[in-house]
């Protein structure tokens, strides 16, 4: 587990409302059996699915959060598609971003290569965990146990990649989740050629539960 702490300036700006924090917990993961890639996320923001999770069939998945800069996803996936590794792609974008210490990003390509970054000014609690087939990241959480429980929920669950990632969201939320509570959630799963699943739940009192409901409806009618 890698843990870093925000600098005084970042915390002070957050307290003064100069910049808006988007506390979030996310997972990017790969199924070793099916080859599917996915990204799942929940947040205290009202529309996390519009900015944090990104995926491109046959290329990779990205979660970009905290003080979100979607360039990490749009440019990152383009670089990965050109054959650049997630680590190299992430490092290139970080070099160009003067606000890098406000970012939290996880990337994974179709081969399972991974990269993660958490800036020093990301709101506490923040941290990440990297496993064989996944990365879990979170910020503005109640504590380290949120990331730990999310990892356990994913690793110990059975079934498809989709439901294993959802289980990670559920266990993270049950352990405290976002310090503000969750108001939105989203999931994207891609294969080599297609977006297999994309569901977003915005501004909802129980977004993870609603995400499960919508996924069940999706599979019932598919």
pLDDT digit string (tens) for 121-132? 999 999 999 999
Contacts of 31 (CB under 8 A, 6+ apart): 37, 38, 133, 160, 161
d(CA 11, CA 86): 29
Q: Using 70 as the pLDDT threshold, list the residues of the chain that sit under it.
A: 1-22, 222
Give domain 2-221's CATH number out of 3.30.70.20, 3.60.20.10, 2.120.10.30, 3.40.50.1100. 3.60.20.10
d(CA 40, CA 196): 13
* Whole-number pLDDT of residue 20: 53
* Whole-number pLDDT of residue 207: 97
pTM: 0.89
* Whole-number pLDDT of residue 22: 55
Sign of CA dihedral 97, 76, 145, 16: positive
* Whole-number pLDDT of residue 222: 67
Q: Convert the pLDDT of each residue in 87-134 to its tens digit.
A: 999 999 999 999 999 999 999 999 999 999 999 999 999 999 999 999
- The domain segmentation of the chain, as residue ranges, is 2-221
Rounded (5°) CA angle 220-201-75: 105
Checking phi first, is residue 168 left (phi over 0); if not, alpha (psi -120 to 50) or beta?
alpha
Contacts of 6 (CB under 8 A, 6+ apart): 120, 121, 122, 123, 124, 126
d(CA 76, CA 78): 5
* Whole-number pLDDT of residue 218: 87
């Amino acid at each position: 587990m890698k843990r870093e702490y925000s600098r005084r300036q970042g915390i002070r700006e957050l307290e003064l409302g100069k910049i808006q924090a988007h506390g979030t917990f996310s997972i990017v993961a790969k199924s070793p059996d099916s080859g599917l890639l996915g990204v799942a996320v929940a947040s205290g923001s009202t529309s996390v699915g519009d900015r944090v999770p990104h995926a491109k069939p046959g290329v990779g998945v990205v979660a970009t959060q905290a003080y979100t800069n979607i360039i990490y996803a749009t440019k990152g996936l383009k670089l990965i598609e050109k054959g650049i590794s997630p680590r190299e792609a992430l490092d290139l974008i970080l070099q160009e971003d003067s606000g890098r210490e406000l970012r939290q990003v996880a990337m994974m390509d179709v081969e399972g290569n991974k990269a993660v970054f958490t800036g020093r000014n990301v709101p506490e609690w923040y941290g990440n965990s990297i496993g064989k087939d996944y990365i879990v990241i979170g910020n503005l959480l109640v504590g380290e146990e949120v990331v730990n429980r999310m990892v356990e929920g994913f690793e110990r669950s059975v079934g498809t990649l989709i439901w294993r990632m959802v289980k990670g969201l559920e266990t993270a939320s049950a352990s405290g989740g976002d310090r503000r509570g969750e108001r939105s959630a989203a999931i994207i799963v891609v294969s080599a050629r297609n977006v297999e699943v994309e569901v977003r739940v915005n501004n909802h009192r129980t977004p993870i539960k609603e995400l499960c409901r919508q996924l069940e409806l999706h599979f019932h009618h598919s």
